[in-house]
Amino acid sequence: MRFKVGVALTFCLLSSVLFARTGTKAKYVGAEVCISCHKADSLGNQFRRWLGTPHSRSWVMLQGKEAKEFAGKMGIEDPQKSPTCLRCHAPVFRDTSLWCKSFHPEDGVQCEACHGPGSLHVKAMKAGRMIEEAMLPKPKGKKFCTVCHAGAPHPTEKFDYKKFWRRVVHPLRKK
Ligand code: HEC
Ligand code: HEC
Ligand code: HEC
Ligand code: HEC
């Protein structure tokens, strides 16, 4: 995990201006950028909750003994480098063209894995412009989770949406 907000962001936000004009899509800014605002209690501090869930460690734990054992059985030497594991444990690892420099797949199932790429949202929020296009989707329903919570190449706990959601649910904004 890293939480410094680097200069790298400036470039990405500048280029997002161009993207907005040419209708190109938002990019992934990475957890550290989302957190720079969403660790505030007034916005709900989703950061604190997320950090306490396995989602924030899903890449790191691929270093562990259990992960190496699963991987070994499949002939994978390093799970932290294998697309077979990264697909769910470090989403967006493949699409480097969609990364801002502040995006690190090592941060695991981070905010944007669920809310989508956030560069346009960040840019608008920084400018204090609450425009519709800059609002990020709030994923709904079981189907969204089972993209990763079904079909893993290793045993997993049976996915019960209500039970699992209760374990990771983060606070909403104070109204
Ligand atoms: C510059 C500060 C800032 C940054 C950085 C930021 N946000 Fe936000 N975000 C806000 C504010 C302020 C709101 C509340 C907007 C409103 O009035 O509804 C918000 C609202 C949201 C919402 C709710 C959207 C809605 O429709 O109500 C989501 C989801 C969200 N942010 C996710 C993210 C994610 C993911 C990131 C990182 C990609 C991020 N935010 C980065 C300031 C920020
Ligand atoms: C991009 C893939 C991905 C998505 C989408 C995703 N998860 Fe996960 N989730 C993971 C991975 C990978 C782990 C394992 C992390 C670890 O143990 O280090 C995990 C772990 C969890 C855990 C901990 C499991 C345990 O044993 O306690 C819960 C709870 C959870 N997720 C709930 C959810 C819910 C609810 C959703 C949908 C709102 C969701 N997840 C969406 C990939 C995902
Ligand atoms: C289809 C998505 C998916 C893929 C691909 C995947 N995993 Fe997982 N992994 C998960 C989910 C979801 C969990 C959460 C466990 C649960 O729900 O019981 C998890 C949990 C784990 C755990 C247990 C973590 C704990 O806290 O107990 C290990 C170890 C692990 N994965 C290793 C791997 C390795 C190694 C690979 C590659 C060979 C891999 N995973 C590929 C989705 C996936
Ligand atoms: C596992 C998926 C997942 C992850 C990871 C995740 N969220 Fe969310 N988030 C959701 C879901 C689902 C909702 C909608 C909850 C609802 O409507 O009850 C939501 C709602 C929100 C909202 C809307 C609050 C409001 O007032 O309506 C904000 C803001 C937000 N998330 C920010 C974040 C930030 C910041 C991070 C990273 C620190 C993050 N989320 C990580 C799934 C996720």
Q: What residues does each domain of the chain span?
A: 8-168
Q: How far is the CA of 89 from the centre of ligand 3 (A)?
A: 7
Write down the pTM of the prediction. Answer: 0.93
| Structural contact between residues 30 and 103, judged by C-beta atoms closer than 8 angstroms | yes
Does ligand 3 have an atom closer than 6 angstroms to the CB of 70? yes
Q: What's the pLDDT tens digit per position in 78-99?
A: 999 999 999 999 999 999 999 9
Q: Report whether residue 67 contacts ligand 1, using a CB cutoff of 6 Å.
A: no
19 burial (CB, 10 Å; 0-12 / 13-18 / 19+) is middle
Ligand 4 atom with the smallest distance to the CA of 145 is 1
Residue 70 has pLDDT above 70, yes or no: yes
Residue type, 168: V
Q: Which ligand is nearest to the CA of 50?
A: 4
